[in-house]
């Protein structure tokens, strides 16, 4: 990224390159309310107004190679306040999608790659996954009022299918219990798939539409296969 006090290479400016972007970036009046609202403005020199200008000027290499699009959390606050309704998070995502995949920041890249390959961001084998679910299920069954609780894995014809966020079978297993107890108390007929259970879809963050489609397709397949009508997708 060009430092503010460096001389910028103006030959980079090409108003044509992002013309096909449908995010209204050229409507920006540089009011700066997006930057005033953004929770990560100021980190590494990032603020959304600057990024929008970069795109509007067509400075493709600066935008794609810079860390800025990856600092954004895609929370959408900027778009909410933008007087010109510029689709800033979508724009950020589109710029991210223009990066070569192996240059996508490590954690996102590796997580998504693992998810495509193994069915979840952690690369957790099926046996380990089932073991964790059953272990947590047994802990619940020991609590008063939840006697006989079991985890209905791959249950045909259940009413609800739920996906799992990878952190729930990693560092946050306690958080699995809240939903499950509610299901139990409500007498709900629910199930969880034994593999390809990943609920997060990091193609959203890396700008990878194909990966997003694959991940969503897997969930749809589970619903067809198990003949489940309702999906609970908390991610």
CA quadruple 198, 204, 207, 210: dihedral positive or negative? positive
The values of phi and psi at residue 187, to 5°, are 65, 30
Choosing among ligand SF4, another protein, none, which partner's interface includes residue 89 (Cβ < 5 to 8 Å by kind)?
ligand SF4
Q: Does 63 bind ligand SF4 (CB under 6 A)?
A: no
DSSP for 49-75, written as a single string = HHHHHHHHTT-HHHHHHSSHHHH----
Q: Does 29 bind another protein (CB under 8 A)?
A: yes
Q: Does 62 bind another protein (CB under 8 A)?
A: no
- Please report how close the Cβ of residue 82 comes to another protein at its closest, in angstroms: 8
Q: By CB under 6 A, which span of 4-12, 74-82, 204-212, 225-233 interacts with ligand SF4?
A: 74-82
Choosing among another protein, ligand SF4, none, which partner's interface includes residue 45 (Cβ < 5 to 8 Å by kind)?
another protein
- Residue 167's contacts (CB-CB under 8 Å, 6 or more residues apart) are none
Residue from 14, 15, 30, 172 touching ligand SF4 (CB under 6 A): that is 30
Q: What are 50's two structure tokens?
A: 């600057």
Counting beta carbons within 10 angstroms of the beta carbon of residue 70, is it exposed (0 to 12), middle (13 to 18) or buried (19 or more)?
A: middle
Q: Does 123 bind ligand SF4 (CB under 6 A)?
A: no
- Please report how close the Cβ of residue 220 comes to ligand SF4 at its closest, in angstroms: 28
Residues near ligand SF4 (CB under 6 A): 28-34, 37-40, 48-49, 52, 72-78, 82-84, 86, 88-89, 92
């Amino acid at each position: 990224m060009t430092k503010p006090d460096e001389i910028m290479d103006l030959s980079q400016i090409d108003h044509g390159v992002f013309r096909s972007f449908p995010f209204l970036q050229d409507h920006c009046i540089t009011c700066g309310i997006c930057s005033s609202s953004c929770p990560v403005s100021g980190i590494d020199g990032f603020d959304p107004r600057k990024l929008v200008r970069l795109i509007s000027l067509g400075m493709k290499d600066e935008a794609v190679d810079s860390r800025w699009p990856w600092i954004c959390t895609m929370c959408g606050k900027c778009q909410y306040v933008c007087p010109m309704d510029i689709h800033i998070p979508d724009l950020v995502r589109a710029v991210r999608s223009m990066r070569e995949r192996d240059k996508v920041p490590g954690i996102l890249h590796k997580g998504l790659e693992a998810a495509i390959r193994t069915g979840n961001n952690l690369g957790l084998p099926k046996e380990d996954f089932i073991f964790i679910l059953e272990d947590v299920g047994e802990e619940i069954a020991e609590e008063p009022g939840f006697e006989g609780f079991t985890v209905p894995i791959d249950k045909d014809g259940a009413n609800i299918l739920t996906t799992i966020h990878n952190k729930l079978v990693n560092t946050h297993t306690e958080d699995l219990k809240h939903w499950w107890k509610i299901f139990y108390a409500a007498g709900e007929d629910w199930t969880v798939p034994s593999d390809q259970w990943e609920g997060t879809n990091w193609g959203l963050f890396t700008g990878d539409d194909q990966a997003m489609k694959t991940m969503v397709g897997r969930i749809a397949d589970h619903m067809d296969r198990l003949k489940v009508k309702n999906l609970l997708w908390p991610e």
